[in-house]
Amino acid sequence: MALARKIRYKGSSVKKPSDAAFSNCNRVGLDEPNQRPRRSQAVLQLPLDHPEPFAATMGTMLYPGTGESERRKAATFTSGYLAQPLEEYYRRGGRLSEDQLRRIITSGGALIDDLQDRWWAGQATGEITKVLIALHNSDPALASWKSATSIVEQETGSARGTGRSALMNYRRQFGSVSHLWAAWQLRGGRFAADELSGNSLAVDFQRFICEAERIRLWGQGFVPERAMAEPVFGPNMWAAPADWLAPLPYEQWPGEGWLPPIEAMAGQLQGLRPPGRPRKQ
């Protein structure tokens, strides 16, 4: 996406601190300053129990609304995405259970005519969220959606659909999956198997979920130091189920309190001021 290449950060490569408890990545509380503990159970649960959780999660990222129309579009995207791989899987002798096939085939059926627009809007939301994280890492007092949106607007110039009103609409539409799109953009939308450790693409997808969960935990807990402030993420986010466990321990994974180690460039901070009135001590 051209938009992603135009945003500048310091230290933009994502380094994952060493730890060994990857299986608990979505269930550890927050203990950093200005953090509120997250809810114990997500209201919106990602479809990680789907026969193909990657495709089902992508459907939710593209169509995150909770109404019937959005959920059917998410399911339609998933079944369409799986059509060719499923045919190849069966050609090679693989088989799915009747219940698994039914879930893939019969849950869609919606007309999808806005997929390109959804991809663009989702990735733009991920870039805004990345800038918000970079601002927080540079100076937490400057971390606001208004400032993050302004930086993305300035850095992308006249790129398609990057005016302030469009960017604000994207964030409203994709707010419940902004952590997932941020994790996606930080990876450049890439997933990789690790031949040395024997970890598969499926395991790397689980790591992606863990990275997104860390961003969600931060955003639902970080409260800017200003009067009447609320956490930067709302309470209704698509999240891993409370009983979800990543499949294997990792030598490197996003540990407790992890955020991508990215910072805004000095020029992007010029002229920014903390929004609102300071919180009373």
What is the DSSP annotation of 65-117?
A: --SHHHHHHHHHHHHHHHHHHHHHHHHTT----HHHHHHHHTT-------HHH
User: Is residue 121 pLDDT above 60, yes or no?
Assistant: yes
Please tell me the predicted confidence (pLDDT) of residue 37. 37
Place of tokens 């991809």: 119
The tokens describing 69, both together, are 């129309």
Radius of gyration of the chain (CA): 19
Please tell me the predicted confidence (pLDDT) of residue 34. 43
Separation CA 175–CA 112 (nearest Å): 21
Please tell me the predicted confidence (pLDDT) of residue 122. 96
Of residues 23 and 91, the one with the higher pLDDT is 91
Please tell me the predicted confidence (pLDDT) of residue 268. 75
User: Is residue 168 pLDDT above 70, yes or no?
Assistant: yes
Q: Which residues contact 135 (CB under 8 A, 6 or more apart)?
A: 142, 143, 144, 147, 148, 151, 264, 269, 272
Q: Residues 237-249: what's their mean pLDDT?
A: 79
Separation CA 122–CA 86 (nearest Å): 26
- Measuring CA to CA, which residue among 272, 261, 256, 242 is closest to residue 35? 256
Q: Which of 32-36, 70-74, 171-175 has the lowest mean pLDDT?
A: 32-36
Q: Is residue 60 packed enough to be buried (19+ CB in 10 Å), middle (13-18) or exposed (0-12)?
A: buried
Average pLDDT across the chain, whole number: 77
Please tell me the predicted confidence (pLDDT) of residue 110. 76
Please tell me the predicted confidence (pLDDT) of residue 181. 98
- Measuring CA to CA, which residue among 34, 3, 267, 251 is closest to residue 123? 3
- Measuring CA to CA, which residue among 222, 44, 52 is closest to residue 129? 222
Give SS3 for 45.
strand
User: Is residue 167 pLDDT above 80, yes or no?
Assistant: yes
Q: What is the pLDDT of residues 179-201, one digit of tens each?
A: 999 999 999 998 887 766 667 78
Separation CA 19–CA 269 (nearest Å): 33
Of residues 219 and 198, the one with the higher pLDDT is 219
Rounded to the nearest angstrom, the gap between the alpha carbon of residue 8 and the centroid of all alpha carbons in its chain is 19
Q: Which of 3-7, 45-49, 169-173, 239-243 has the lowest mean pLDDT?
A: 3-7
pLDDT above 70 covers a percentage of the chain that reads 67
Please tell me the predicted confidence (pLDDT) of residue 156. 79
Name the pTM for this structure: 0.79
